Amino acid sequence: MHYFHYKEEDLYCEEVPIATIADRVGTPFYLYSHRTLVRHFKAFDSGFEEIRHLVCYSVKANSNVALLRIFVNLGAGLDVVSGGELFRALKSGVDPKKVVFSGVGKTEQEIEYALNSGILMFNVESSQELVRIDEMAKRLDMRAPVAIRINPDIDPKTHPYVATGLMENKFGIDFKLAMKEYTFAKGLPHIEIIGVDCHIGSQLIELQPFVEALRRVKELIHDLGQRGIEIQYLDLGGGLGITYKDEIPPHPTEYAKAIVEEASDLDYTLIFEPGRVIVGNAGILVTRVLYTKETGEKNFVIIDAAMNDLIRPSYYGSFQGILPVTKGEEEKIIADVVGPICESGDFMARNRRMPKFKPGDLVAVMSAGAYGFSMSSNYNSRPRICEVLARGDRFHLIRERESYDDLVRGEKIPDFLG
């Protein structure tokens, strides 16, 4: 459920006509609906009200500090995967005691930054990382709170690039070796074991893999208890999918119900790290048609946004809805929507039925709130685009469009080149 809707011929975000925003900020731009973001966060969070829990929004899905602030104001914690994300998290005003730090490759500098910031816990992914964190904590004369990320070897039945809980993936520690790893961690003087973590993948559209993972991890926590390792936090990661085209993912309340059923008797706090399900359908990419072109074989709609702005179609072959910002064109054609970048993989949609767009028309690329701006780059020296937040009948620029000067910031020509 989101608040992008037509009033007669015109597409609106909440009460703002999208064409009005385009006139003001230019194209392309990302547009988010405040009401949708709040609704999605609350829908997720409220499903767990019966049990002790903390929702740590996954910063990498969309890391704009204004969005982080929205969730933080609603009581969220944050899940970060780099020093840069931790910096953003702290900028957003989050309580560091609600920050979890995930990822397979934390550097010394990142570990030190997180220890000094007083985060809730590290989700640790290898023995070597445990040793590194122990050393860093010793240097700072602290104990580092950790959970170990378990790879439960469960098929999330999703795209291979976003499956993370299978033996073949780089993430986590083999389920069968978990006890050994925990025993090892227990012997490290500057490590304080407080949790177990698992995240099995992204864009899951079935509940069963989540429930299976939870069962496996519960068993582990039970066994840990028998060996005197008490767990206070179980982090179940993120991964709940959304509708891009015709997928029917479980509603967050169904997801919550399935988890709560399995977890109501537990006396530890559950942590969740949702990303896509909160922001995915709360944002769109608005772009303008530059040209249209017919080859003998095909129709092309050439837009001013490209794969550097939204890489999901190129990278995952993902589907993004394509809608006219102003309806009216009755005639429909089958076309590819492509960007200006010098790569054949630069497309937003292929062989899609759509209105016969004309140069100057505005096009909305739907479901672009997650892994949109946050995965964008400057490829082809294209300045990164601006981000806008609509709320009611108003809108706010929450990130400026980059300039050409931004593109070369930090670059230097050595003296010998004259």
Return the range that interacts with ligand PLP (CB under 6 A); candidates 46-54, 214-222, 233-241, 307-315. Answer: 233-241
Q: Which is nearer to ligand PLP, 101 or 357 (CB)?
A: 101
Q: Which is nearer to ligand PLP, 163 or 191 (CB)?
A: 163
Q: With binding defined as CB under 6 A, does residue 209 bind ligand PLP?
A: no
Return the range that interacts with ligand PLP (CB under 6 A); candidates 224-232, 238-246, 292-300, 399-407. Answer: 238-246
Active site residue 56: no
Q: With binding defined as CB under 6 A, does residue 275 bind ligand PLP?
A: yes
How many residues of this chain bind ligand PLP (CB under 6 A)? 17
Q: Which is nearer to ligand PLP, 21 or 198 (CB)?
A: 198
Q: Which is nearer to ligand PLP, 16 or 240 (CB)?
A: 240
Q: Which is nearer to ligand PLP, 88 or 276 (CB)?
A: 276
> From the CB of residue 285, how many other CB atoms can be counted at a distance below 10 Å?
26
13, 56, 198, 342: which is the annotated catalytic residue?
A: 342
Residue 159 beta carbon to ligand PLP: minimum distance, rounded to whole angstroms: 11
Close Cβ partners of 72 (under 8 Å, ≥ 6 residues apart): 78, 92, 93, 94
Distance CA 106, CA 67 (A): 25
> From the CB of residue 4, how many other CB atoms can be counted at a distance below 10 Å?
22
Taking CB under 6 A as the criterion, which residues in 356-375 touch ligand PLP?
Answer: 370
Return the range that interacts with ligand PLP (CB under 6 A); candidates 25-33, 35-43, 234-242, 300-308. Answer: 234-242
Q: Which is nearer to ligand PLP, 162 or 179 (CB)?
A: 162
Close Cβ partners of 302 (under 8 Å, ≥ 6 residues apart): 289, 290, 291, 292, 293, 338, 339, 340
Q: Which is nearer to ligand PLP, 33 or 202 (CB)?
A: 202
Beta bridge partners of 195: 147, 233
Cα-based distances in Å from 81 to 201, 253, 308 = 15, 27, 21
Close Cβ partners of 145 (under 8 Å, ≥ 6 residues apart): 119, 120, 121, 122, 192, 194, 195
Residue with tokens 């980059």, as numbered in its chain: 402
Return the range that interacts with ligand PLP (CB under 6 A); candidates 185-193, 258-266, 273-281, 398-406. Answer: 273-281
- The burial class, CB within 10 Å (0-12 / 13-18 / 19+), for 226 is exposed
CA torsion 230-236-237-240 (nearest 10°) is: -170
Among 28, 83, 209, 238, binds ligand PLP (CB under 6 A): 238
Kindly write down the DSSP assignment for every residue of 33-72, as one continuous string: EHHHHHHHHHHHHHTTTTS-EEEEEEGGG---HHHHHHHH
The amino acid that residue 66 corresponds to is: A
Q: With binding defined as CB under 6 A, does residue 77 bind ligand PLP?
A: no
Q: Which is nearer to ligand PLP, 86 or 303 (CB)?
A: 86
Q: With binding defined as CB under 6 A, does residue 79 bind ligand PLP?
A: yes
Among 165, 249, 250, 274, binds ligand PLP (CB under 6 A): 274
CA 228 to chain centre: 36
Q: With binding defined as CB under 6 A, does residue 110 bind ligand PLP?
A: no
Return the range that interacts with ligand PLP (CB under 6 A); candidates 83-91, 254-262, 268-276, 405-413. Answer: 268-276
Residue 171 beta carbon to ligand PLP: minimum distance, rounded to whole angstroms: 8
Here the tokens at position 93 are 């005003």
Among 152, 239, 252, 313, binds ligand PLP (CB under 6 A): 239
Which residue intervals of 61-147 are DSSP H helices?
Answer: 65-73, 83-91, 108-117, 127-139
Cα-based distances in Å from 383 to 47, 75, 285, 392 = 40, 34, 15, 29
Residue with tokens 């702290």, as numbered in its chain: 90
Site track 25-64 with ligand PLP (rule: CB under 6 A), x = hit: ---------------------------------x-xx---
Helix axes 108-117, 127-139, angle to 10 degrees: 60
Instruction: List residues with catalytic annotation.
Output: 342
Footprint on this chain of ligand PLP (rule: CB under 6 A): 58, 60-61, 79, 102, 199, 202, 237-240, 273-277, 370
